[in-house]
Amino acid sequence: MATPSDSPELKAIAAGATYSVESTSTDSLPNRAIFDPLLLPPDSYDVDGTYWADLPLAKRVKFVLDYDIGVEGKQEWAEIWADAKRNPFSPIVKYFKAAVLPGAGLGLEGYVLFSIGNIKPLFQAVWKSCWSTHEVCASNWVSSIEYLEVAGIMVGQILVGIQGDWVGRKFGLVQDALVMFLGLILLTASWGTSLNGWVICYAWCLFIYGIGVGGEYPMTATMSMEKSKPHGVVSSKEDRLHRGRSVTSAFLMQGWGQFWNVVVLMVVLYIANGGGDPPYTEKAVQIAFRVSFAIPAIGTAILVWHRMNLKHTNHELEKQKKKSNVTGYDLHSLKLTFTHFGGRMLATAGTWFANDVFFYGNKLFQSEFIKVITPNNHSVMTGWKWNLVNVSVSLVGYYLASLLIDNKLYGRKWMQIVGFMFDFILFIIPAFAFDYFTSREHIYAFQAMYFLSSFFNQFGPNSVTFLVAAEVYPASVRASAHGFGAAVGKLGAVAAAILYSYIDTQTKFYVVPWFGLAGAIMTYVWLPDTTGLDLAEQERRWRYIRQGRGEEYCGVAIHSKHLSAWERWMGVGKQYDPAKDYKMRIDEMRAEWEMERGKGTSEEGSQPVWSAHVDEFFERTSVRMPSTAVPTQTDLDGIQEKTGFS
């Protein structure tokens, strides 16, 4: 790959060539030398200034391998190795700050919600007259526990999503942690004068906790996404190359929460009951479920303190609102989102709905193979052990998704399509040969399909839907859009729960696969691929749309690679013109520079959006300077020092 010192532009300037600086065409050598490092970063453009998605396939593959894996990959490993040599714990601390803390809320809620399903067999074993035969408890209240939990989550997803865009990200983050902490205190201390009274109390405590859980979805997604761009910087390599990894690394903490929930329950029950096998005493079950809720309550209290001390969480939102002259909730952008991005709403919400049907349906496998492998089993430990294995397999999928989701040759869209199609295949095969695969002779093949479906669910739609439901929308409505998509997804879980109560197991296998096929189709038709797209460029396009000038935008955000098939069919990308856009971006930079110069001050705490020599260049070529002015030696020295050109 060519180096900056190979630039013919600076060699020509150094030789005494003169050009009109007011010309901002891509063939204006001094302007290319000054603005290319800003407008054509080497992680997205080759040495000729061609966008990576415009390269022929062979060159595109080489570009990605050379830069993303070669330059960037080697640099990251070198930094990790250097940190480890200075301090062996440094890489762990960095991972904790980059993934564990941002995803702590999802990790804690993953622990608790997984616990609800895990402790239910314990309740049914000890309080049969309440949880199984419904002699002393109203069956509708026992059944409503899961529905109230989901209802609370949906309320939180929509409500906190709107709050996150209206009041701010930090408000939503702190509020979520406080509500979850309150919910866990209530769950740990839940009681009643009768079993039925306790069930009612338990159900409403879950509803309250669910509101906090729901808010975690839009808040974690937006915070993880917007923190990938350093505070005050217009665009960054970190955002373009690692934005997806930043979000999915936080999201996969949900898997770790599920893992540790099973471990804690197994240890506590073994100690409290004197072993893992039945019979289980009421005292042992009381200890097991209350301790399982008390532990995450401690973690959530720490999370409240951490989030109250977060800084700059609202910077990206405030910056975009300021540019749009909005102070409260951006209703205008919300309306425009439905009119201009309606297909994207269908994709992000519809595929999440389809995925949650699959996520819920995955449990169908486990109940069947446990009956065959361990007939007449009454120990909850058996199910918990298989849950632990399944979560471990899922974690492999989570991490692989995090590693490949930013790869320009695979990325979000293909990861989701492939994941949906594999789940479709893995469910359709046993559907039409159910007796064959559930027989003792072939049960291990059935079991393998169960684990593979879990793997491809995480290494596919479950990870991707969480990311794109925020990523494909502008910052001013990002949390609202994510909350809406997540709430529609939860409707998929509700629909599956209701549907499954009316059909037998084999019929369930007939029904579930088609949601995978539908998810793959919706992804292909309506979901744009934002892999490698700078979010700053997407925001720039949105400003044009918001001003009623959408047709004037001609940058990479409407490149065919970053549009859905539907958007391409509708002609959205027909005005794509990188040469024209290069001029427009320089004009926009100049206009912003003049506006800031008129104010006389810059935003407190922000870094300059361009280098000092660019600032000097705009100063010399402002209205009061002749159009024939050329960069001085001071300009060239600044360029060489900043970019490495010589």
Residue that is last in its domain, among 268, 295, 322: 295
Q: Taking the CA of residue 237 as centre, how many other CA atoms within 13 Å lie in the half-sphere pointing to its CB?
A: 15
Position 302 in a domain: no
pLDDT at 30: 57
**Residue 618: band (very low, low, confident or very high) from pLDDT cuts 50, 70, 90:** confident
Regarding whether 227 and 110 lie in a shared domain, the answer is: yes
Position 253 in a domain: yes
Domain limits at 13? 4-89+585-643
Please state the domain count of the chain: 4
Position 320 in a domain: no
Query: pLDDT tens for residues 321-348?
Result: 787 778 889 899 999 999 999 999 999 9
Regarding whether 600 and 496 lie in a shared domain, the answer is: no
pLDDT at 33 over 90: no
pLDDT at 31: 62
Regarding whether 353 and 470 lie in a shared domain, the answer is: yes
pLDDT at 145 over 80: yes
Mean of the per-residue pLDDT values for the chain?
86
Residue that is last in its domain, among 295, 322, 346: 295
Regarding whether 114 and 34 lie in a shared domain, the answer is: no
Euclidean distance between CA atoms 66 and 55, whole angstroms: 14
Q: Specify the higher pLDDT residue, 569 or 643.
A: 569
**Residue 615: band (very low, low, confident or very high) from pLDDT cuts 50, 70, 90:** confident
pLDDT at 412 over 70: yes
pLDDT at 95 over 80: yes
Regarding whether 289 and 227 lie in a shared domain, the answer is: yes
Q: Specify the higher pLDDT residue, 607 or 141.
A: 141
CA 174 to mean position of chain CA atoms: 19
Regarding whether 163 and 194 lie in a shared domain, the answer is: yes
Q: Specify the higher pLDDT residue, 460 or 617.
A: 460
pLDDT at 125 over 50: yes
For the chain, percent of residues with pLDDT exceeding 70 = 87
- Is residue 192 within 8 A of residue 200, CB to CB? The reply is yes
What Cα–Cα distance (Å) separates residue 288 from each residue in 121, 122, 270, 279? 12, 9, 9, 14
Regarding whether 74 and 25 lie in a shared domain, the answer is: yes
Which of 227-241, 423-437, 443-457, 596-610 is least confident? 596-610
Regarding whether 279 and 174 lie in a shared domain, the answer is: yes
What is the number of other CB atoms lying within 10 angstroms of the CB of residue 465?
Answer: 30
Residue that is last in its domain, among 243, 276, 295: 295
pLDDT at 587: 87
Closest CA to 202 of 305, 130, 99: 130
- Mean pLDDT calculated for residue range 212-230: 86
Most confidently modeled range among 69-78, 79-88, 406-415: 406-415
Which of 31-40, 191-200, 546-555, 625-634 is least confident? 625-634
Position 94 in a domain: no
pLDDT at 639 over 70: no
pLDDT at 621: 75
Which of 23-27, 78-82, 522-526 is least confident? 23-27
Query: pLDDT tens for residues 534-564?
Result: 999 999 999 999 999 999 999 999 999 999 9
Taking each helix axis from N to C end, the angle separating 535-546 and 331-340, rounded to the nearest 10 degrees, works out to: 100
What is the number of other CB atoms lying within 10 angstroms of the CB of residue 422?
Answer: 19
Alpha helix positions (H), 501-570 = 505-511, 513-526, 535-546, 565-569
Position 70 in a domain: yes
**Residue 9: band (very low, low, confident or very high) from pLDDT cuts 50, 70, 90:** very low
Regarding whether 589 and 570 lie in a shared domain, the answer is: no
Regarding whether 112 and 55 lie in a shared domain, the answer is: no
Position 121 in a domain: yes
pLDDT at 36 over 70: yes
**Omega of the bond prior to 30 within 30 degrees of 0, cis?**
no
pLDDT at 8 over 50: no
The CATH number of residue 211's host domain is 1.20.1250.20
What Cα–Cα distance (Å) separates residue 304 from each residue in 101, 164, 323, 395? 11, 16, 31, 26
Position 312 in a domain: no
pLDDT at 359: 82
Which of 55-59, 226-230, 629-633 is least confident? 629-633
**Residue 316: band (very low, low, confident or very high) from pLDDT cuts 50, 70, 90:** confident
pTM metric for this prediction: 0.88
Regarding whether 487 and 377 lie in a shared domain, the answer is: yes
Position 309 in a domain: no
Regarding whether 108 and 185 lie in a shared domain, the answer is: yes
